[in-house]
Amino acid sequence: MSIYFDEEKKLFKLDTDHTSYVIGLSEEGYLGHAYYGKRLKDLGGKYLLRMEETPYTPMTNKREKSGFLDCFPMEYSTGGIGDYRESCLNVRNEQGCVGAEFFYSSHEIRKGKPKLEGLPASFGTEEEVETLRIICKDAILGLEVELMYSVFAETDVITRSVRLQNTGTETLYLDKVYSACLDMDNRDFEMVSLFGSWGRERHMQRGSVRYGKQMVSSICGKSSHQEHPFMALVTPDANQEHGEVYAMNFVYSGNFIAQAELSQFDQVRMVMGIHSEQFCWKLIPGASFQAPEAVLVYSAEGLGKMTRSFHDFYRKHLIRSPYKYKKRPVLINNWEATYFDFNTEKLLDIAREAKRCGIEMLVMDDGWFGKRNGDDSSLGDWTVNEEKITGGLPELVRKVNEIGLEFGIWFEPEMISPDSQLYREHPDWALQIQGREATQIRTQYVLDITRKEVRDYAYECVAKILRSAPISYVKWDMNRQLTDMGSYSLASDQQQELFHRYVLALYEMQERLTQEFPNLLLENCSGGGARFDPGMLYYSPQIWCTDDTDAIERLRIQEGTALVYPLSVMGAHVSDCPNHAVGRTTPFMTRGHVALAGTFGYELDITKISEEEREQIPEQVELYRKYHHLIQTGDYYRIASWSDRKPYDCWEVAAKDASEILVTYVQVLGRTNTHSRNIRLKGLDPLAQYRLEDTDEIYIGEELLNCGFLVRDVFGDFQSRLFHFIKCN
Ligand code: GLA
């Protein structure tokens, strides 16, 4: 049992293996957040609701209701009645007034976890997860809110989501619906978030939480390059091993907000949900609205433990693809090799050489359809360009298969080029505000996939191609933000639903794809990594991490990404040098070692690189074959992050049974007059002996853990080493 309700104390206690989460009821039936943190043996923490402190409770002193609401740690805050901190829910009635107030009505505790209608969400067996549903009611509005908590004990995760049901007779407008709220006393919290840009996604940022509100968000229709639906509040001492961490991550791929607010009473309110900008959901009597899921992790052992909880959780309870623990085919993608300039012969040349080097799949990227020889046409016209692909697509696939490679293909199904047959026939299929010329980004518009006929067309374009030939892999790209949010199919009081409806439509399309082609390896992508989020992981076991393939730039991008997401989901390729994004030249070996921390593949013209580099490919592919299992299933530890003071980067993956570890060390910059570097390893059995592979060096586990391992003789910039330790007793 992970969930208890104490009738007498009116307390809910949710326990994972190492954490407890306590919800209490006030006398009136407000739901208050009492405690989240280290596991408590007994029921405790109710006094944190501070019911006995001034300014009293509304029951005893109605005059001070607003004072009470302004500091009561609400489990789910609502706007309009006197809690001036961030509200999670704003409801407008038919008179146009905003106000909602919820009181406990009933609850249910059950094994397992129900699905969230139309949304990606975590799952588990009845043995793995238990779910609490608390129903609260606002009798005036005739509105029910169901707060759902699922407890995944083993991975130390609690998920939250919210469902609203209009049980009244009035139409209601939901101006804001967040998914999670956490009110706590401040402990000098600092906020950790992931920021970025195109080609620079998910860099870690940390700073103290100040009075007022600090947020990260996206309003561009996807989780974005710039900010990320993740936030952690950490105590100032928090590092990889120590300190407290409260983290939230959002299982959603559209507009979001994650915010921390420090109030006048030194309380912190942390919230996460769909961004309320340009959001309003019309809820007619009888209708319901399901908000997406937020994943909560508390760690008393620093960021490292938080990371490992997220990794285990996503691997076990979110990714569904049959590939999640499988070796992925080592692929070669022709994007950086040829861009739009390719034809059958070129692709087959690449395929033949790739086969000789042990590569297993050819992926044909953008430029194979319509008359697309640049990025300014043909999106929407998904018929193969036979001038380039002579003999048609099935014939190309057959030839690639004959060479001994699987075949993969690129699509951007959500888009429409103004210069396309599709746009000429259906200009109204693009998102647009009537009477206003829509904004082009990368010379393209966005299809209004919220319309069934448009969605069906876009889906069929992809499916038809997949049905026509044995295609093993699809890269589903999305290369622009959403603008001009207007749909011909929505009434004026529902246009503000469009951002969310778009995401639901996308999910529906990807669900259809995974149902019809269950063995397809799907990789999501969005101008690099602008839709790298847990929502997409539900459909694809890997996501293209960034368009920046430079091994050194990738260190920080992959570090930030791996803070939350398992290495098995990070699309990572070895590309050519000077690197196309930054012009840097790094050793081929380093590029291989860095890409090994992800799905591993190539993106270069293998027919043109030097013989010396080409010769390294079979060895690198062998490394992937040898280590993929460890990298996909092991525990990830961050050992060092490079900076001006520390010119090297280091991470490690340890087998869960401590039988082996793989350490990747990258010396970013060489330095004169330095000793060997001492790195302390993790995840080992202290009493066991470990042999460093390819040497006769033997270490006791406790030596590597406490004394550290010495990295010697690394000379030069951008140099890397792999160290594989194997338990030998
Ligand atoms: C995006 C992707 C790239 C490539 C191009 C093709 O930028 O991230 O990998 O597929 O689109 O246009």
Query: What pLDDT, in 10s, does the model give residues 2-44?
Result: 999 999 999 999 999 999 999 999 988 999 999 999 999 998 8
The CB of 571 under 6 Å from ligand 1? The reply is no
Region of 167 on the Ramachandran plot (φ > 0 left; ψ -120 to 50 alpha; else beta)? alpha
Q: What angle do CA 332, 223, 480 make, to 5 degrees?
A: 65
The proportion of the chain whose per-residue pLDDT surpasses 70, expressed as a percent, equals: 99
Tens of pLDDT along 465-507?
A: 999 999 999 999 999 999 999 999 999 999 999 999 999 999 9
The CB of 665 under 6 Å from ligand 1? The reply is no
579-611 in b/e burial notation, b at 16+ Cβ within 10 A?
bbbeeeebbbbbbbbbbbbbbbbbbbbbeebee
CA dihedral 169, 173, 179, 185 (to 10 degrees): -100
The CB of 566 under 6 Å from ligand 1? The reply is no
Q: Choose which residue among 334, 368, 476, 525 to substitute to test ligand 1 binding: the one with the highest number of ligand atoms within 8 A of its C-beta.
A: 525
* Tally of CB atoms within 10 A around 512: 16
pLDDT for position 1: 84
Q: How far is the CA of 414 from the centre of ligand 1 (A)?
A: 14
Q: How far is the CA of 659 from the centre of ligand 1 (A)?
A: 39
pLDDT for position 63: 65
Tens of pLDDT along 249-271?
A: 999 999 999 999 999 999 999 99
The CB of 527 under 6 Å from ligand 1? The reply is yes
Helix (H, G, I), strand (E, B) or coil at 501: helix
The CB of 218 under 6 Å from ligand 1? The reply is no
Q: How far is the CA of 555 from the centre of ligand 1 (A)?
A: 20
In this predicted structure, the answer to whether residue 171 has a pLDDT above a threshold of 90 is yes
Q: How far is the CA of 625 from the centre of ligand 1 (A)?
A: 27
d(CA 178, CA 181): 8
pLDDT for position 318: 98
Q: Domains of the chain, with CATH numbers?
A: 3-317 (2.70.98.60), 639-727 (2.60.40.1180)
Asked if 477 is an active-site residue, the reply is yes
Helix (H, G, I), strand (E, B) or coil at 606: coil
The CB of 411 under 6 Å from ligand 1? The reply is no
pLDDT for position 44: 82
Q: Choose which residue among 335, 375, 602 to substitute to test ligand 1 binding: the one with the highest number of ligand atoms within 8 A of its C-beta.
A: 335
Q: How far is the CA of 528 from the centre of ligand 1 (A)?
A: 7
Q: How far is the CA of 93 from the centre of ligand 1 (A)?
A: 45
More confident residue, 265 or 63: 265
Q: Are 86 and 77 in contact (CB under 8 A)?
A: yes
The CB of 415 under 6 Å from ligand 1? The reply is no
Q: How far is the CA of 339 from the centre of ligand 1 (A)?
A: 9
- The whole-number average pLDDT for the span 637-647 is 95
Q: Which residues contact 419 (CB under 8 A, 6 or more apart)?
A: 376, 377, 378, 443
The CB of 410 under 6 Å from ligand 1? The reply is yes
pLDDT for position 54: 65
Tens of pLDDT along 296-317?
A: 999 999 999 999 999 999 999 9
Rg (CA), the chain: 27
Residue identifier of the C-alpha nearest atom 1 of ligand 1? 527
Tens of pLDDT along 571-588?
A: 999 999 999 999 999 999
- Residue identified by tokens 């309009």 is 80
Q: Choose which residue among 332, 333, 365, 570 to substitute to test ligand 1 binding: the one with the highest number of ligand atoms within 8 A of its C-beta.
A: 365
pLDDT for position 59: 65
The CB of 168 under 6 Å from ligand 1? The reply is no
pLDDT band at 56 (very low <50, low <70, confident <90, very high): low
In this predicted structure, the answer to whether residue 60 has a pLDDT above a threshold of 90 is no
Q: Which residues contact 724 (CB under 8 A, 6 or more apart)?
A: 627, 660, 661, 662, 663, 692, 693, 694
In this predicted structure, the answer to whether residue 166 has a pLDDT above a threshold of 90 is yes
Residue identifier of the C-alpha nearest atom 11 of ligand 1? 527
pLDDT band at 51 (very low <50, low <70, confident <90, very high): confident
Q: What is the DSSP letter of 292?
A: -
The CB of 548 under 6 Å from ligand 1? The reply is no
Q: How far is the CA of 172 from the centre of ligand 1 (A)?
A: 42
Q: How far is the CA of 367 from the centre of ligand 1 (A)?
A: 10
31-62 in b/e burial notation, b at 16+ Cβ within 10 A?
bbbbbbbeeeeebebbebbbbeeeebbbeeee
The residue from 477, 548, 550, 635 that is catalytic is 477
Q: Measured from the CA of 475, which atom of ligand 1 is nearest? A: 10
Q: Are 473 and 363 in contact (CB under 8 A)?
A: yes
Residue identifier of the C-alpha nearest atom 12 of ligand 1? 366
Tens of pLDDT along 689-723?
A: 999 999 999 999 999 999 999 999 999 999 999 99
Q: Are 662 and 722 in contact (CB under 8 A)?
A: yes
d(CA 365, CA 407): 11
- Residue identified by tokens 């120590």 is 242
d(CA 650, CA 280): 46
In this predicted structure, the answer to whether residue 52 has a pLDDT above a threshold of 90 is no
The CB of 479 under 6 Å from ligand 1? The reply is yes
Residue identifier of the C-alpha nearest atom 7 of ligand 1? 527
- The whole-number average pLDDT for the span 283-300 is 98
The CB of 523 under 6 Å from ligand 1? The reply is no
Residue identifier of the C-alpha nearest atom 6 of ligand 1? 366
Asked if 717 is an active-site residue, the reply is no
Residues linked to residue 649 through DSSP beta bridges, in sequence order: 666
Q: Measured from the CA of 544, which atom of ligand 1 is nearest? A: 8
Residues linked to residue 648 through DSSP beta bridges, in sequence order: 667
Q: What is the DSSP letter of 277?
A: T
Q: What is the mean pLDDT of the chain?
A: 97
d(CA 588, CA 609): 11
Q: Measured from the CA of 528, which atom of ligand 1 is nearest? A: 8
The CB of 525 under 6 Å from ligand 1? The reply is yes
In this predicted structure, the answer to whether residue 617 has a pLDDT above a threshold of 80 is yes
Residue 376 to residues 67, 189, 414, 440, Cα–Cα distance (Å): 58, 47, 15, 10
Q: What is the DSSP letter of 567?
A: G
Q: How far is the CA of 577 from the centre of ligand 1 (A)?
A: 18
The CB of 144 under 6 Å from ligand 1? The reply is no
- The whole-number average pLDDT for the span 185-214 is 98
Q: Which two tokens stand for residue 121?
A: 């969400």
The residue from 547, 550, 605, 635 that is catalytic is 547
- The whole-number average pLDDT for the span 522-528 is 98
